[in-house]
Structure 1
Amino acid sequence: MSLRAFKETLKPCTSQPSSTSVSQKQSSILQDSDPIIPRKPPKSSLTQQLRRLQDPLAPPLIQPHNSPKREREQKISDFVDEEEEEDEEEEPELKRPKFGVAKLSQFQYDHTGPFEPLVLSSDGEVPVVQVPASINCRLLEHQRAGVKFLYSLYKNNHGGILGDDMGLGKTIQTIAFLAAVFGKDGEYMSKENQAMKKDPVLIICPTSVIHNWESEFSKWANFRVSIYHGSNRDLIYDKLEAHRVEVLITSFDTYRIHGSILSEIKWDIVVIDEAHRLKNEKSKLYRACLEIKTQRRFGLTGTIMQNKIMELFNLLDWVVPGSLGTREHFRDFYDEPLKHGQRSTAPKRFVEIANKRKQHLMTVLQKYMLRRMKEETIGHLMMGKEDNVVFCAMSELQKRAYRRMLQLPDIQCLINKDLPCSCGSPLTQVECCKRIVPNGIIWPYLHRDNPDGCDSCPFCLVLPCLVKLQQISNHLELIKPNPKDDPDKQKKDAEFAAAVFGPDIDLVGGNMQSESFMGLSDVKHCGKMRAIEKLLFSWISQGDKILLFSYSVRMLDILEKFLIRKGYCFSRLDGSTPTNLRQSLVDDFNSSPSKQVFLISTRAGGLGLNLVSANRVVVFDPNWNPAQDLQAQDRSFRFGQKRHVVVFRLLAAGSLEELVYSRQIYKQQLSNIAVSGKMEKRYFEGVQDCKEFQGELFGISNLFRDLSDKLFTSEIIHVHDKEGKEHERRIEPGDDILVSESGNRLSNNYKRTSTSEAELEDLGIVYAHRNEDIVNLGPGIQEKTETTIYHSESQAMPLVKREEPERVVKKQKIPIINERKRAQYRLLARSRGMGELEFSMWLLSATPMQREQVLQDYRRKIP
């Protein structure tokens, strides 16, 4: 007998019916005995899973086919035996070296929670409520804490908010919590929980993630899940009434329309994913959700507050009605004091009251809300993120078009609305003769069916004019007619483009949409694309992978032509991409080394867009809602990211986009104050929804202000940054560049040599800072950022150590310190054979390892 035949004889019986490798002797044995089927190990058997991982060539465990009762008893017996063996055999097995055994680090058992049981119920409570071992062994530590928090709310018969940051596994925590409450233990339910019939669970979520919820339930637990969506709603409802559904999943739109039907059902738990959709108390969705008959209401959202503090009240009042008092009480006691206490010139008394109200609000929120960020949970498993906000100079053609846009009659009507009317009336222009704009370009099209105007004139012009200004800031081609629009709109857009381009119309190829590939892919007339060209070349040459976001599909078309012209290999995903193809595009980009850039629409949301292979993120155009830009960044900055992520948010300097970003700062600061209780610097004089304090942020006069000759954001941040005034030198006329303590600033100064001006124009960047240096300056964060030195992975600049503010104030020799730092900076540049400006350009795209290498090389050269 050969060695191979001998090995075949020693192999255990296989259960595959199609196998032809068994010997004749084994076949006869199988015919004489009961059929042998492979026993599927219980999900809770960690020991068996580890054994299978340690010996991938081992055959599946088998057992005789018995009656269902005996099989169930055998499973329970095996489960008990395996749990008893776990403490004795697991550690030796993990430590015992074996030749050719696959390492456990290759599998998904890294960084998971402890393997001891996760018991949620109190001692002596019957039945015992615990998370199934099959789920518990795969939970991270912060997820285990989240499950405990959800159960504590459930036990007290009220709901709450799981407000973890995006990417921390809110879906998984919810499923683990539900599995514990329903007594799901692996593949069966305990007898105690079978005797206790529970009402079903309702999950309301966006349409794009319905199937993701269904998929996650199938992976993690054994629930009877049904989807109430589409044409089979009646069948699912009958099934629900027959008590054959444990979890019902539906969409926001479906519940808004058919909520009256579902509200008649008695639900044990209601979970709303992306719960910030309930921010508007006047919406039909909000009113429909108020009719749900249960006190156990849970909201899942990573952006609890997006625009206004009152959104926090609306969400929490749905989850736990009355927890924050009445709407009027919340507005007077929390909303107004917090907003006015954040004014840059707020009296000390206002600031003190705001701090007290903030502390009181946090005391209430902590009872019903759990909020955690990536940095405090899985930050040690990731390399960090750096969020750079880069202000790109508009091209001269863009600046001229922007100014002409502001001079149109439509916008002038809005700017001068409060001036006295020219007819001699005591009324203002908006109240008298200038309420309508028949000689405008945008207004006649909007009111083509109503020449007398509408009830909201002329304020109906605000949104269309803002859209046009943002289009000019991004690319001049965007304001030209779109062939997909109706003929009347194309005609109106062509007239508008001709008025805005004026004598420069030939430079942009006319007022109709260009079909020229070379013209669209040219970066000459777009300031942001000049910056993109330099950054992509530097990053791709270093092997980086880039995510490039834009909310405009037409802008994505232009960027696509630019990438083709440069020869970069890319993928693209927008709203027109079929849903069934999106995941394959994501998987292909993550696995393919040849794919360098991923073009994505900022509006193409949904779970599954986890692009952790990319370590560079570019947000081409900002959104009024800061959550949209933060969500785009988190497509790359998620669990599983192995590299340092660098984000570049591009803004057109001197345009409306600076005001958009300033409002983002304002909203983020209010959110940090109201939701997280953090301390924030007071940059702005404006107060939201307050006509008396519109300041520099609010009001129509600010929206349509000409900022082309100013560094609007830079001035606000550095004028009101009182701490920065004490330890940062101001820019002097004639300075070419200043690398400040708060980031890097490439500044357009009053006097500059022609060489410096040409180099700055070629770079296309006039100012830049890190968003984390402006926002989130709470006590903990502040301590970290102010004493951070260059060696930190999360810092790109500066290249020298930061001085602590207290020490700097005591020395009172700030200019000398800054000059010494500038001298060190010049020496570093010379050591690489570069000028200061060229060295600064290199720093914008250098990796932390490269910057560290520069310092090491410089120290070696010092005698």
Structure 2
Amino acid sequence: MLAPKNSPPTELGPQERVRGPQPGLQPPDPKRLKVFVDLTPPASENGGRSPQPDIHQGESPPPREEIIVKAGKEQIVIDLVEARESPDGDENIRPNSREDNATVDHETAGHLVTKNLDRVAGSGQSDMIVNPGHSAEYRAIPFPPHISGKLFDSQIEGIQFLWREVVQKGEGALLAHTMGMGKTLQVITLLYLISEAGKSKDEGILGQVPDHLRGSLHVLIVAPPGLLPNWREEFMKWVPKSDGQRLLEFYMPSQLKDPKPRIRMFKDWEASGGVLLLGYQMLRDCALESSIRCNQPRKAFKSSDRRTTKTSAKARDAESGNAPENDDFDSTDLEEEDVTLTLEEEEAIKLAAELKRIVLEAPSIVVADEAHAMKNEKSGISEALGQIMTDSRIALTGSPLANNLNEYYCLTKWVAGDMLGPKGKFKTFFSSPIEAGLYEESSPDQRRIALRRLAVLRHVMSPKMNRCGLSRIKHRLPEKTELLITVELTEIQRKIYSLFAKNVVQENIISSSSGGALPENLEIKSFFDHVRCLRTLLNHPHILLEVFKDRAEKNAKKGDVEINWATHLSKSTIHEIREEDLLGDAHLKTLLNLYKHARTFENFDSPIHSNRMTCLFQILQVAEDIREKILVFSSSIPTLDYIAAQLKTKSIGYYRIDGSTKPIDRQKFIAEFDSKGGENVMLISTRAGGVGLNITAASRVVIFDFDFSPQDEEQAIARAYRFGQTKPVFVYRFKVGGTFEDVIHNRSLFKISLAARVVDHSHPVRLAKQGRAREYFNPPGQCEKGDLLEFKQNYTDPILLGLIQSGLVLKIDLQDTYLDRTDQELTKSEQKRFQLDLEIYNNNYEDREPTSGESDIGDSGEDSQEGLDGGADVLNITQIPQ
């Protein structure tokens, strides 16, 4: 939480830079605030950098020690105070200080490993060995000396957990440490230790390693393409060389564009061992024999069961269950990876089969980074990962549960097989009763049953999942203030929103054959696309206009009538298009209405037609003035396009990362953003840039819009709020009140609560409400107004105060509103029931009669809305999303 104001107003100094006040007007008494900033003078105009098309540099403000920012009718004087590193907390660390850029003497480290095995044998330092509790016939195995001094306690525990599950038990494991906790280093340390122990001549060491992990270790690491360079760099940093050879060589086929060298790299890895780094798409295509394309492909290569060789962002997104129907919303929001090769037909078929065999049979151990990518068990990615033959599987994710317990089940099944039993039984025994008890309206019986089943699930999962949440490291991080800011629709947004929502419902009533009446169970077809349209409208009506115009210019067809929109629109003769030609198509009717408003309202593309957008640019301007670096996340590519265009007109420099940004450019942009002379704004697509990036130079984060998965936003925030951050972090989330975003936010509360209870063993307040599904396409309602006086009086953040004084903010909620409840401990009778439930679970869910208060849980907790999170693009408007 921000510190209360305690500095009295002062007179203006000679170094002030004034923005806003008109000549001749006497400004009100200013309020003096402190803001941590970097006072180092910016670099030269070009900063010594080569111009990049994705980078736009604005004019840097002159060096100053205080400025005035106009905020509504008031002015705020801001003292610029140089940021200092905050002292470390109490999280235990090995004697050597942790350094992010530590230099490893690889040659020395390599020769010390074997000696270190002898040195630690027999010692009682269980926290310094990877195999505490080993049997008497085996020897203690120490952590590598060049790494042990750099590990936190949580990382040591994670490595010991992985060794126990993967090496000692020969099974899989789920490492669910929160974002920024060093999961990559933990895995590299484990692989390094396995590789060394698996080659040892000492039976007391070698005997602990399963046969398939001995000798030349074949490691397959699968990750989003943008993270592969980071894996390579971390291996180079931490894995030493011995006699000029790296102890674990790594291979990255996507670096090679020529077919034959790329295929040769796969074969070299199979023959020699080491680490093979693949993106998820490349793994999927290899496993499904579509990684090689013929020069003249025959029909089999085009069929849907063989899958296309070049997968669009939409198709990949569809596998996660959150895809829009049309590409024009998010066409570059996921990373592209060059995975296909082109060869002659006969050779292509042969080599595709060979690559499939290599990736499925050769790995002795497989690591899935950002493993929540396999949350949909029917996706090609999940299918490919499930076919890999080794049982030594490691799943890495900071978000093992994002939407529902089915995702948790899929992830657990990949690392632990049938440990949780059949899916149907899991849903009946765990999912339904747990989810039924998490609502504000849940009955006392439902809540207690949910608590008991949660206890069983945690007990069952405890051997397979090692969790380290933010609460474990919070004392080592600076303060984080997270705000949900509610604004209302503008006049033009309200008109278009009402029309669009009405058209969607009417269109589906007509197609439902209900005779024009609203049926009891109305299905909304193309649900995701309609929601994306509304979201884009809330961002700014001009963005929706451009999206629809792009569709129209592609000669969208309506029945047997084809309208050449490009011709009509270029002549501005909208009246020539008859509205009856557009009946039944909500998009085209809305497009017509958009153009009418575009001709009526002056400066239709101005940010003023969206309160959300107006607030964003106010934030960016203040951040630019006080030289605070800021990340802006949006799940809409056209929205990022609009923001970028507006920044150019305002001469504010920025960087941009989305799915089309090459990994090498990502690293370059981040390095420049981190530098003192770099630009202060980074635009990032939420899904493509919300994982794997370390951008601690930023202390401000804007979640401009949101989608169905709140964990995506949590991942985005973790780009700045992580180890290495030294400044207080401020997060600004936006919501347009009285719209479908109220419904999605309500759904997010449920998902956050579910994840907190299942994964983090916490007990947040039940805030989610049932019965909100029908409100997705309701006409816009009234916004609930909140009391802003507390924030205005007690908080010193100039950005927050500026937003309040603008008059555009209706309500502000602190996001850290989840408090532990006092009713979360099991009673004595419930502890007995817990034991009974555990016995029932361990005995393969033997049938029993439900007890009083439990008979209804099979239905009340059912997630009947799989369309919201599981891939179906149809919503039953009368069903209740759980």
TM range (shorter): 0.5 to 0.7
Whole-angstrom distance in 1 between the partners of 2:484 and 2:418: 40
State whether residues 573 and 582 of structure 1, in contact with CA within 8 Å, keep that contact through their aligned partners in structure 2. yes
Aligned residue in 1 for 2:370: 274
Structure 2 residue 191 is the aligned partner of structure 1 residue 174: no
**Residue deviations 1:320-344, cap 9 Å, x none?**
1121121111111100001111233
Choose 1 or 2 for highest CA Rg.
1
Distance 1:533 1:256, change over 3 A: closer
Whole-angstrom distance in 2 between the partners of 1:580 and 1:308: 35
Whole-angstrom distance in 1 between the partners of 2:452 and 2:112: 56
Q: State the secondary structure of the residue aligned to 2:546.
A: coil
State whether residues 657 and 689 of structure 2, in contact with CA within 8 Å, keep that contact through their aligned partners in structure 1. no
Whole-angstrom distance in 2 between the partners of 1:505 and 1:223: 61
Q: In structure 2, give the amino acid aligned to 1:387.
A: E
1:74 Cα offset (Å): 13
Distance 1:564 1:264, change over 3 A: closer
Q: Could you tell me the TM-score, scaled by structure 1's length? A: 0.63
1:414 Cα offset (Å): 3.6
1:558 Cα offset (Å): 2.3
State whether residues 479 and 497 of structure 1, in contact with CA within 8 Å, keep that contact through their aligned partners in structure 2. no
Distance 1:416 1:383, change over 3 A: farther
Structure 2 residue 814 is the aligned partner of structure 1 residue 770: yes
Q: Which of residues 187, 196, 216 is equivalent to 2:234?
A: 216
State whether residues 615 and 803 of structure 2, in contact with CA within 8 Å, keep that contact through their aligned partners in structure 1. no
Q: State the secondary structure of the residue aligned to 1:343.
A: coil
Correspondence list, 1:524-673, <5 A: 524-593=608-677, 595-605=679-689, 609-673=693-757
Q: State the secondary structure of the residue aligned to 2:816.
A: helix
Whole-angstrom distance in 1 between the partners of 2:449 and 2:394: 31
Aligned residue in 2 for 1:506: 599
Whole-angstrom distance in 1 between the partners of 2:694 and 2:610: 30
Aligned residue in 1 for 2:387: 291
Whole-angstrom distance in 2 between the partners of 1:332 and 1:376: 33
Correspondence list, 1:707-786, <5 A: 707-711=780-784, 739=790, 762-773=806-817, 775=818, 777=820
Q: Which of residues 394, 411, 416 is equivalent to 1:320?
A: 416
Q: Which moved further from structure 2: 197-206 or 275-284?
A: 197-206
Aligned residue in 2 for 1:460: 525
Q: Which of residues 285, 302, 309 is equivalent to 1:257?
A: 285
1:304 Cα offset (Å): 0.4
Q: Which of residues 143, 149, 155 is equivalent to 1:143?
A: 155
Distance 1:617 1:507, change over 3 A: farther
Whole-angstrom distance in 2 between the partners of 1:600 and 1:671: 25
Aligned residue in 2 for 1:802: none
Structure 2 residue 505 is the aligned partner of structure 1 residue 477: no
1:763 Cα offset (Å): 2.4
Q: Could you tell me the TM-score, scaled by structure 2's length? A: 0.61
Whole-angstrom distance in 2 between the partners of 1:179 and 1:625: 35
State whether residues 571 and 595 of structure 1, in contact with CA within 8 Å, keep that contact through their aligned partners in structure 2. yes
Distance 1:249 1:303, change over 3 A: same
Q: State the secondary structure of the residue aligned to 1:130.
A: coil
1:355 Cα offset (Å): 0.8
**Residue deviations 1:362-395, cap 9 Å, x none?**
1111111011123312x22321212211111221
State whether residues 297 and 319 of structure 1, in contact with CA within 8 Å, keep that contact through their aligned partners in structure 2. yes
1:198 Cα offset (Å): 5.5
Whole-angstrom distance in 2 between the partners of 1:373 and 1:421: 54
Q: Which of residues 404, 411, 430 is equivalent to 1:308?
A: 404
Which runs of 5 or more structure 2 residues have no equivalent in the other structure?
A: 1-93, 208-213, 240-246, 288-355, 557-563, 566-581, 796-801, 826-882
Whole-angstrom distance in 1 between the partners of 2:524 and 2:110: 74
Q: In structure 1, give the amino acid aligned to 2:814.
A: R
Q: In structure 1, give the amino acid aligned to 2:185.
A: I
**Residue deviations 1:91-128, cap 9 Å, x none?**
xxxxxxxxxxxxxxxxxxxxxx9995656572644454
Q: Which moved further from structure 2: 144-153 or 475-484?
A: 475-484
Distance 1:266 1:565, change over 3 A: closer
Q: In structure 2, give the amino acid aligned to 1:219.
A: K
Structure 2 residue 251 is the aligned partner of structure 1 residue 238: no
1:284 Cα offset (Å): 2.6
Distance 1:533 1:127, change over 3 A: same
State whether residues 121 and 130 of structure 1, in contact with CA within 8 Å, keep that contact through their aligned partners in structure 2. no
Aligned residue in 1 for 2:22: none
State whether residues 505 and 524 of structure 2, in contact with CA within 8 Å, keep that contact through their aligned partners in structure 1. no
1:429 Cα offset (Å): 5.4
State whether residues 669 and 776 of structure 1, in contact with CA within 8 Å, keep that contact through their aligned partners in structure 2. no
Distance 1:412 1:47, change over 3 A: closer
**Residue deviations 1:138-190, cap 9 Å, x none?**
212211111111111121222110001111111110111111122279xx977
Whole-angstrom distance in 1 between the partners of 2:755 and 2:404: 8
Whole-angstrom distance in 1 between the partners of 2:443 and 2:234: 52
1:563 Cα offset (Å): 2.7
Q: State the secondary structure of the residue aligned to 2:401.
A: coil
Aligned residue in 2 for 1:12: none
Q: In structure 1, give the amino acid aligned to 2:742.
A: E
Q: In structure 2, give the amino acid aligned to 1:630.
A: E
Q: State the secondary structure of the residue aligned to 1:391.
A: strand
Q: In structure 2, give the amino acid aligned to 1:262.
A: I
Which runs of 5 or more structure 1 residues have no equivalent in the other structure?
A: 1-45, 62-70, 85-112, 436-457, 510-517, 687-694, 715-730, 745-757, 783-863
Whole-angstrom distance in 1 between the partners of 2:430 and 2:221: 31
Whole-angstrom distance in 1 between the partners of 2:360 and 2:782: 61
State whether residues 740 and 777 of structure 2, in contact with CA within 8 Å, keep that contact through their aligned partners in structure 1. yes
Correspondence list, 1:35-434, <5 A: 120=132, 122=134, 124-126=136-138, 128-154=140-166, 155-183=168-196, 196-197=214-215, 199-221=217-239, 222-229=247-254, 231=259, 232-242=261-271, 244-259=272-287, 260-262=356-358, 265=361, 267-377=363-473, 379-408=474-503, 410-414=504-508, 421-422=515-516
Aligned residue in 2 for 1:705: 778
1:674 Cα offset (Å): 2.3
1:346 Cα offset (Å): 2.4
Q: State the secondary structure of the residue aligned to 2:222.
A: strand
Q: State the secondary structure of the residue aligned to 2:463.
A: helix
Q: State the secondary structure of the residue aligned to 1:371.
A: strand
Q: State the secondary structure of the residue aligned to 2:768.
A: coil
Distance 1:776 1:574, change over 3 A: farther
Whole-angstrom distance in 1 between the partners of 2:669 and 2:235: 24
Structure with bigger RCO (C-alpha 8 Å, 6+ apart): 2
Distance 1:551 1:737, change over 3 A: closer
Aligned residue in 1 for 2:555: 488
1:131 Cα offset (Å): 2.2
Q: In structure 1, give the amino acid aligned to 2:189.
A: A
1:760 Cα offset (Å): 7.3
Whole-angstrom distance in 2 between the partners of 1:77 and 1:669: 45
State whether residues 486 and 810 of structure 2, in contact with CA within 8 Å, keep that contact through their aligned partners in structure 1. yes
1:411 Cα offset (Å): 2.7
State whether residues 401 and 500 of structure 1, in contact with CA within 8 Å, keep that contact through their aligned partners in structure 2. yes
**Residue deviations 1:590-615, cap 9 Å, x none?**
11246222222223327663221111
Whole-angstrom distance in 1 between the partners of 2:639 and 2:269: 46
Q: In structure 1, give the amino acid aligned to 2:162.
A: L
Aligned residue in 1 for 2:322: none
1:318 Cα offset (Å): 1.5
